[in-house]
Structure 1
Amino acid sequence: MEDLAIGTRVKHPVYGEGIVSRSHLTIFEIFFERGGKMELTKYNADLEIISSPIEEPRTGLTLSEVENALALVLDKYQGITYGAKLADKWKGGMLEMKPANPDLQAKEIPMETFFHKIVMLRDRLRVLEQNINTHPKLDDQDKVQLQQYITRAYGSLTTFNVLFADKEAYFKGQSK
C-alpha cells in the first residue's frame, strides 16, 4: 500500500470506513466507524482507498479545535469517552502490589497510569458493546447473551469506581 496522506478515507472489510489520522514508519492510525481508533500496518492488503484529502487552503481551525471536534464525534458514535477524571485524592499516588513471598520484589505503578488503563478498558468494553449491538450476523438472542457478559464485566469492575472523580463515569453492573 502506498503512503496515505492524513485525511485519506479508506474502507476495511471488518472495521468499515475510516479516516487516516496519522502515518508512522510502518503503521497507519485510522479512526474507523466500527472499532474506533486502530493501528494497521502499511502493508495491510485489506485497505481500500475511498478518497484522498482535498488540497484546499486552510480554514483557520486550530489543531485543538479539530481534536475537540473529533473527540465529540467519537464520543457520540463510538462510545469512546476521554472525559473521565481521576479523583483528586489519588493524584500523584502510587499503586503498590506486594507478593505474599517476601523474597519477591513489590511493583509500584503511578495511579494516573493505572487509572488510564482502567478507563481504556471501560472504553473498549463500550466499543465492543456497540459493535455487538450493530453486528449484522448476530441475532437478538446472541446479542442479549453477549450483552450479559459485558454487563457482568462492568459489575466486576465496580471496585475501581473509587478512582473516578465523577459518578457519571462509574462502572455499573446489572441492577436488581
Structure 2
Amino acid sequence: MNKILGIGSRINHSEFGKGVVTNVTSTMYWVTFIENGLETIEVDSDFEVLDAVEDEVDTVSFYEIENSLRDLLKKWSDVSEIVPIADKWRGGTLILRPNDSNLSDKEIP
C-alpha cells in the first residue's frame, strides 16, 4: 500500500487532469480538479503525484466510525433482538398475583 497523501497534495490524474486533494479517508481522496471540479478517487487508483503533503490528519472519517459503532451495537445489543413467542402461549392469559392477600389478582389477555 502506498503512503496516503495529505490534504493539499497536488496530483495529475489521467482522466481528470491536475487537482488538489481536499479531503482524505482510509479508502478515498476528494480531489478538486482544475477543469472537472470535485471528484472522489480511490487511494490506490493510478495518478501522478506532483507535490506530496505529509498526512497530518486521522484517515478514519466520522462516518466510518459511526457506521462501525452502529454495526457493533446491532450485533451485540440484546435490546434489538426479536424473539418470537411460543405458540403454546398464544390466546392465553397472564395472571398478576400480588404478594399482599388483600389485593386482587389481575388477568391480562
TM-score by length of 2: 0.45
